[in-house]
Chain A
Amino acid sequence: MNAVATVSKYSAFHVYAIEAKLEFIRMLRMPMFALPALVFPGMFYLLFGVLMGKGKADVAAYLLATYCIFGVMGPGLFGFGVSVALEKDRGWLKWRRAVPALPGAYFVSKMVMALIFAFIIFIELSLLAAGFGGVDLTLLQWTKLMIVSLLSSLPFCALGLVIGTLVNGQAAPAIVNFIYLPMAFLSGLWLPINLLPKFLGTIAPIWPSYHAAQIALKVIGSDLGTPIWIHIGYLVVFTLAMLWLAVTFWSRMKLK
């Protein structure tokens, strides 16, 4: 009836926005994904950071930094690792390739989903820390911790993508857990590095989560003192290496 009806809404941005919105909604509705991702970090933090820390604010602050990293790893690893593996096996990727979907929107929507989950987890842990743990940070520290937490989810998105392209959908959850949980422990996310056996402490710098945690700990002045550019450099190189592997495996991937 009017000219507006015939004007196309089509733009790459519109496609990306719809993909990201729907990816977030559908993952939120998946209890197997959303419950552990959103509930476990807060529950563990309350248990180990607040209750077992017996109200010591420095313990609560230390574990806030490391649990933020533990929390944001999950959505990246599972959101890419498990869902790419499943979608490759079940024909969703094949359908996307036949229809005029934008290939980049697939990855960006999952990344945005992981970042939104990371943001929710950060807010949740911060509220618990400030409300029950007596953690008192400046506004600048809260902001820095948020930025570090959000950016830290990206290397794990890339690692998840490598896993998702390599393994099948049935094996993916077990493999992701097998990498996620030991890596969190060995990087000092649950216990400070100096409480780990000496050998494990020495090799901790091989894990990306160690470097993310050290940057987060720097915000509250509890890191081990390595210059920040070493940690950032490691994470950038790690992310690029994972992306390179993912691209290589992606092009060889067989769609079912």
Chain B
Amino acid sequence: MCDSKTSITTLARLDNVSKRYGNITALNGLNLSVHAGEILALLGPNGAGKTTSVSLMLNLVEPDSGKVSLFNQDPQELSARQRIGVMLQNAELPETMRVSELIELTQSYYPHPRDLKEIAEMAGIADLLKRPYGKLSGGQQRRVQFAMAICAKVEILFLDEPTVGLDIEAREAMWTSLRKLVAEGCSIVLTTHYLEEAEALAHRVMVIAQGSVIAEGSVESIRSRVALRKIRCISSLDISTIKQWPHIDSVTQDGQYMTIQTMDAESVARRLLNEDAGLKQLEIKRAGLAEAFIELTKEQA
């Protein structure tokens, strides 16, 4: 079902799903679909409903209303779950099991597992195989959990905050592996609070807030939803003066640098140059996903 190139193939779907925990509405009529061959990033503040959305597709919680499907099946079906790989956010694995044993166990769940050597290389754990899981550092444990998620050539990989606790090098290595997996035809659903991670990897981003999707699209289109731009410069002008100007979103001072966020970068820049003859190192940039995201969630609240 991955070889259709002309139309979008949907692998997993949440259809108008609501979920309440007591008095708290975790999801409110949420729609979500995972397409073949894409990296979908779910972004949102804590408690927005990212993990609940993923948990529904993983058979961990049941919806109060709406429909959840995984490969057009109920996620409870073993045959559907044999086509996914999973990395949960905070699952502690048995401490006295060796890394190679955890992988052997996970491999046994799939009809066609990858071999140990390939898994170890992709996850960068070749040197950890003999070690007991409980003796590993947090970052090493995270890599082992990733290895367990890629024990077979699955069609969707669900990764809940995969790079939390990893150093920069390990994170880059995981990103490289994820890109390779997507090139093989795997889809990836990623929840993250590292916006640069979504920016670096995602084909599509969904911003979730208070149980609903408030924005959806490519990184580019989410960013352009908010016309903010960032001006950075060294200026002798007073922050509080600039704050009075029209179209100013925020002004901050960082050492000798001043950062101004604005909807109208051109006129602000013109005025800066006019009023401060000594202005240095002027720089204008489009806001990143981080700023777009803060702006979107602010509108919602």
Contact = CB atoms under 8 A, between A and B. Distances in A.
Contacts of A19: 105, 108
B161 to A, nearest CB: 13
Interface residues of B, number: 28
B59 A22 contact: no
A100 B91 contact: no
Contacts of B148: 99
A91 B81 contact: no
Contacts of A87: 94
A30 B96 contact: yes
Interface stretch (B11-19, B34-42, B82-90, B268-276): B82-90
Contacts of B158: 98
Contact of A10 (B85, B96, B110): B110
A1 to B, nearest CB: 13
A98 B86 contact: yes
Interface in B84-104: 85-86, 88, 90-94, 96-97, 101, 104
A18 interface: yes
Contact of B109 (A27, A29, A90, A99): A99
Nearest to B88: A95
A25 B91 CA distance: 21
B92 A22 contact: no
A22 B88 contact: no
B280 to A, nearest CB: 53
A15 B109 contact: yes
B104 A26 contact: no
Given A18-B104, A18-B105, A91 B91 contact: yes
A2 interface: no
B88 A94 contact: yes
A138 interface: no
A97 interface: yes
B112 interface: yes
Given A25-B101, A100-B110, 9 more contacts: A22-B101, A26-B97, A92-B94, A95-B91, A97-B59, A98-B81, A98-B88, A99-B86, A255-B60
15 contacts: A8-B111, A15-B108, A19-B108, A29-B96, A87-B94, A90-B91, A92-B92, A92-B93, A95-B86, A97-B59, A98-B86, A99-B81, A99-B148, A100-B109, A101-B109
